[in-house]
Amino acid sequence: MKKSVRTRFAPSPTGHLHIGNARTAVMNWLFARHTGGRFVLRIEDTDRERSTEESERVIFNDLQWLGLGWDEGPDRGGDFGPYRQSERLEIYREHILQLQKSERVYPCYCTPDELDLRRKERLKRGESAVYDGRCRQLSTDQKKWLEEEGRKPAIRFRTEKEDVAFEDLVKGRISFSGESIGDFILVRPDGMPMYNFACVVDDHRMGISHVIRGDDHVTNTSRQIILYRAFGWKSPCFVHIPMILGKDRGRLSKRHGATSVSQYRELGYLSEALVNFLSLLSWSSESGDEILSRDRLIEEFDFGRMSKSAAVFDAEKLDWMNGVYIRGLTLGKLIALALPFFRDAGYSVDSERKIRVILSLLQDKLERLSQIGEKAKIFFQEEVIPESKDAEDILKKPDSKKVYNTFIRELSSVGKSDWDGETFKVVMGKIQEETGVKGKHLWMPIRVALTGQVHGPDLPKVAEILGYEKCRRFLQRALGDEIG
C-alpha cells in the first residue's frame, strides 16, 4: 500500500491560505509521508475573476513556511501535469466529448435568475431543491431558438436517480438517495469546468488514491462517485475530516481571530507549533502526548484515531503550544526569528549583545513573537509610566522615597563603566544596610521606578541593560515627581 498512496492538496488561488485549508494540507501531507506515498499540489484556478498569481505565490510561500513540501506541482512538474487546472482545459474538453457520446450530458440554457426562482418555488411547495430537468428534453429547434436569443448553455450531467453509497475512512458508510442529487452542471457557459467535474478528471488522471478533505465536501462526493461510474473508473478512497469550529461552536471565521496562515506567521507563531496544533484538531496520538515532533507525527499518524466530531479551534491552547516551542529554541535561533519583531516595534537592534540579553530574559515569558513589542518596551522606553494603580501607590510611599534617595547617592560612587548586574546587587545591598528597608519593600520600588511595572524580568539584568545613565534618570524622576 505504501508505494501506491498518492494524496493531493488542491487550493483555489483566490486569496490567502485559510487555516482550515492548511489543516487539510497537513492531513494530506502527514498521510502521504506516513505511508511513504506522494503528496501532490494542484492549483484549481478555473475561477477566472477571482484567481490571481499573487494568491498562488502566497499559497506556495505559506506551504513552504509550514514545511509541507510537495513531490509534484506547478513549480516542480511531474508525470501527471499540468498541475494548474487552467492549463488542463483541453483535457476537460476531451472528457466532455466522451460523456456527450454516451449521452450522459445535455446543454442547459436556464439563467441563474431562473434557476434561483424555480428553486425557491420548489422549496415553498416542500419539494427538493434539485434542478427540475427543464432542459433535459429540448428539441433541436428549441435549442436553436434559445441560442438565437443570445443564451449560452452550460453542460449539465444527466443523472439516472441512482443511489450512491461509499465507505469513508473516518465517517464509515455514507449513502445518498438518487432523488437528492439531481442533474448538476459540469461546464459553465463560458466553457470553464465546474469543481466536481474537473476534480474527478484530475484525481483520476493524476492517480490520486486518497481524497482527504473537509466534511463539508460530503455532498460533492456523491456527485463525483456518479461521474466515476459514468467514465467507468474506480473511485479513490474518500476521507472526510471534521470541520473546525470556533469556541462558540460556529464555523471558524474572522470573528474568532486570525484566519489565514500568513496572519499567524505575522503574529509570531512558529511553523512547527502550528503544524503540531493543526494535526491535533480531531486527531490524537495514542500516547496522549500533545507536543509532537514532525517525525513523531509522521510515524504515528493514521485515520483510525480521527474523531468524527467537529474540532474546536482553541486559541489559548495554540498560544500555550507555541510558547513551548519558543522555549525550546536555541537563543541563536530565537534571535534570528525575533529581530523583525524588534524592528516592527521601532526598537534598535544595533547591539547584538543587548538583544541577546533581552531575549534570554523574555524567552520563558513569550507565547507569540509579536508580544516582543510590549514585553521588551521596558528596555527601550525613554520615560517610565506606571502601568497600574498599585505601581503609582508604591512610588508615593515614604520608604520608596528613602530608597530612591539612597540609591542615587550610592550611584555617585560607582563608575559608569563598572555598571552591570553585579554592581546593581552591591548597590541594593548597601541601600538595605543604610535604610533598613528590605525584601519586596526594597526591590519593588526600584522595579517600578525603572520599568513602571510591579512584576517583570530579573531586575539586576534589567538595570544592566538600561545602563547607568537611564537608571539614574529614571530614579530621579521617581523621586522628584508626584503621581496623581
Q: What residues are labeled active site?
A: 254
The answer to whether 233 touches 204, Cβ cutoff 8 Å, is: yes
Joined together, the cell numbers standing for residue 196 give 466536481
Round to whole Å and give the CA distance between 325 and 447.
29
In terms of Cβ atoms closer than 10 Å to its own Cβ (0-12, 13-18, 19+), residue 132 is middle
| Cα 95 from Cα 40, distance rounded (Å) | 22
State how far the alpha carbon of 280 is from the alpha carbons of 242, 258, 365, in Å. 12, 18, 24
State the Cα–Cα distance between residues 324 and 45, nearest whole angstrom: 38
The 8-class DSSP code of residue 47 comes to -
Burial of 1 (0-12, 13-18, 19+ CB in 10 A): exposed
Which conformational region is residue 133 in: left (phi greater than 0), alpha (psi within -120 to 50 degrees), or beta? left
211-224 burial, b if ≥16 CB within 10 A, otherwise e?
bbbbbebbebbbbb
Q: What cell numbers appear for 374 in the block? A: 510590549
- Which amino acid, one-letter code, is at 227? L
Cell of 123: 422549496
Calpha distance 415→428 (Å, rounded):
16
For residues 92 and 484, what is the distance between their CA atoms, to the nearest angstrom?
75
Residues 424, 429, 431, 433: what is their CA dihedral angle, to the nearest 10 degrees? -170
For residues 403 and 446, give the distance between their C-alpha atoms in angstroms, rounded to a whole number: 8
The DSSP letter of residue 472 is: H
Taking Cα atoms as reference points, which of 40, 43, 22, 102 lies closest to residue 318? Answer: 22
Q: Please return the burial class of 336, using the count of CB atoms within 10 Å of its CB with bins 0-12, 13-18 and 19+.
A: exposed
